[in-house]
């Protein structure tokens, strides 16, 4: 996250940020995991989690192993091992169109029961058991699964499909991990607060205000449109690593129109003339 973006996020309405590896680094890391030993993927992931334990982070977001498409039993074993290795809360990432395998409902409910013993440093307080796996980033596209997880109540449901933010919050979901919230973050927070307080009409109005932007930001592969618009705001450089490419000129023009950037620039030029 570049300095201007960090400053933009330091507001009274942004409470956290999700930091990801660059695309090339993810590819290199995945290549390291693809070794002949059957347990190499899980073992290497656990090693990485142990490295992250020393960092001042709030938690870790974990997707199923890419490409190898393990069974549901294998997925349970993989995530249980990672949760055992982690000293931080775990958010499961169900994104089958990227990993090649879905986290089925029974799998998610099994993982929700993962116990973790936390030893107390205070001599008068006994060790306590609490779940290490606390939430799921839901990108599976299954309303049935989303509803079942919300009704079960053990996992916080965070939508990862930005266009589903309104639906998920109305159903009782806990929030979202949303790429489009890099733009107009205060309006996304206003949407969350309105719906959390039961102000449905206000929340609906805010969502319909945001929906055209959300749709445009996913008109081409993420994160190209988001980066293009952040660059138009002067917050970052519009650059991606191959094979990802920058957003097309027509889409960038559309994004600038939605943000009113050209009108702002024209107004500023008129004032300085």
Active site residue ranges: 93, 137
Please compute Rg for the chain using Cα positions: 21
Q: What are phi and psi for residue 258, nearest 5 degrees?
A: -65, -35
User: From CA 20, how far away is CA 238, in angstroms rounded?
Assistant: 17
Cβ-proximal residues to 201 (8 Å cutoff; 6+ apart), any chain? none
What is the DSSP code string of 70-113? --HHHHHHHHHHHHHH-SS-EEEEE-HHHHS----HHHHHHHHT
Is the separation of the CB atoms in 231 and 237 below 8 Å? yes
């Amino acid at each position: 996250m570049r300095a201007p973006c960090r400053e933009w996020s330091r507001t009274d309405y942004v409470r956290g940020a999700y930091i990801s590896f660059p695309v090339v680094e993810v590819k290199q890391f995945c290549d390291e995991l693809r070794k002949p030993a059957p347990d190499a993927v899980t073992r290497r992931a656990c090693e990485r989690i142990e490295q992250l334990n020393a960092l001042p982070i709030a938690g870790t977001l974990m997707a199923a192993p890419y490409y190898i498409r393990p069974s549901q039993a294998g997925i349970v074993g993989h995530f249980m091992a990672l949760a055992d290795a982690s000293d931080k809360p775990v958010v499961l990432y169900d994104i089958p169109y990227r990993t090649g395998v879905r986290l089925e409902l029974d799998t998610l409910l099994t993982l929700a029961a993962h116990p973790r013993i936390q030893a107390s440093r205070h001599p008068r307080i006994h060790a306590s058991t609490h779940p290490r796996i606390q939430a799921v980033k839901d990108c599976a596209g299954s309303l049935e699964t989303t509803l079942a997880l919300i009704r079960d109540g053990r996992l916080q449901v965070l939508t990862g499909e930005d266009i589903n933010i309104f639906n998920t919050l109305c159903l009782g979901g806990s929030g979202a991990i949303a790429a489009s919230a890099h733009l107009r973050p205060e309006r996304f927070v206003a949407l969350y607060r309105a719906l959390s307080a039961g102000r449905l009409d206000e929340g609906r109005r805010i969502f319909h205000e945001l929906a055209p932007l959300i749709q445009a930001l996913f008109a081409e592969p993420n994160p190209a449109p988001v980066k293009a618009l952040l660059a138009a705001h002067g917050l970052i450089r519009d650059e991606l690593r191959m094979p990802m490419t920058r957003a097309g000129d027509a889409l960038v023009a559309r994004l600038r129109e939605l943000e009113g950037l050209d009108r702002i620039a024209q107004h500023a030029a008129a004032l300085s003339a």
